[in-house]
Structure 1
Amino acid sequence: MPHAEVDRVCLQVHVALDAMRRGMGNFNAAQTLCQVMILTGLLAEAGYGDATFEQMRDAESILSAAFDRGRDSDVWALDEEGFRQFATIVATYDYQMQRAPLAAIADASDRLERFRAGESFEQVARKRA
């Protein structure tokens, strides 16, 4: 991936994380972090970077609470622990964007899009096999 494109994509993610840390986030910022969380997990599964199942499960819970809070009170934020968890994920994502081949990133992005379209991760995995 061209360096300028990696920088542009990663900057958007860092802006979303910072907005959520400052309590100035919105649905789009939370959605960006959700997509990054999933892509990070998929790329780690493909051998690019480290992400554990427990880390992703905890991050999913943190983000689910942020979505609930945002919908209920229009406060889109991460607490300090949530910020630390997602800062680690974003750092891994940055590494992956710099190191993973474009084909691996494209495959993970395609899997994310199919998941967003309603397919389960199990269905997506079966199609890869």
Structure 2
Amino acid sequence: MGFLNLTKKGVALALSAQLVLATQAVTLAEAQMVGTDAAISKYTAMANRSVLMDELQRSEVREQIIELGVDPAEAEQRLAALSDEEISTILTQMENDSAGADIVGTLFTVFIILLVTDLLCFTRIFNFTRCIR
């Protein structure tokens, strides 16, 4: 009977120690509030990376990279190594340097030129203008 009590106590002690150690490992994790800005910037950075990777996968871009003597796999590795700020800078530069991106500005400039030529009696395009004479 004494040996059985000693075995039960030993098993109970081992299980108690295991339970205490398991709960200690769980309480080491700390939860913190994540701000909206941090969450948005994280997902924006991920979206920016995927946009650049998608552009790199296009056949025209791949052909141009190979034509310039760059291995596409190396270009993907270098793109993956860029920081979030560098990727956002590249995307901003791509948006600003797009050909024909400022259509509204171009149309406004053409409208002003035609309006001035109508006012100076060189053309007669707009009905709401009168010649300056």
Q: TM-score, normalised by structure 2?
A: 0.29
Which protein, 1 or 2, shows the higher relative CO under an 8 Å CA cutoff with sep ≥ 6?
A: 1
> More helix per residue: 1 or 2?
1
Task: Give the structure with higher Rg (CA).
Answer: 2
* TM-score (norm: length of structure 1): 0.29
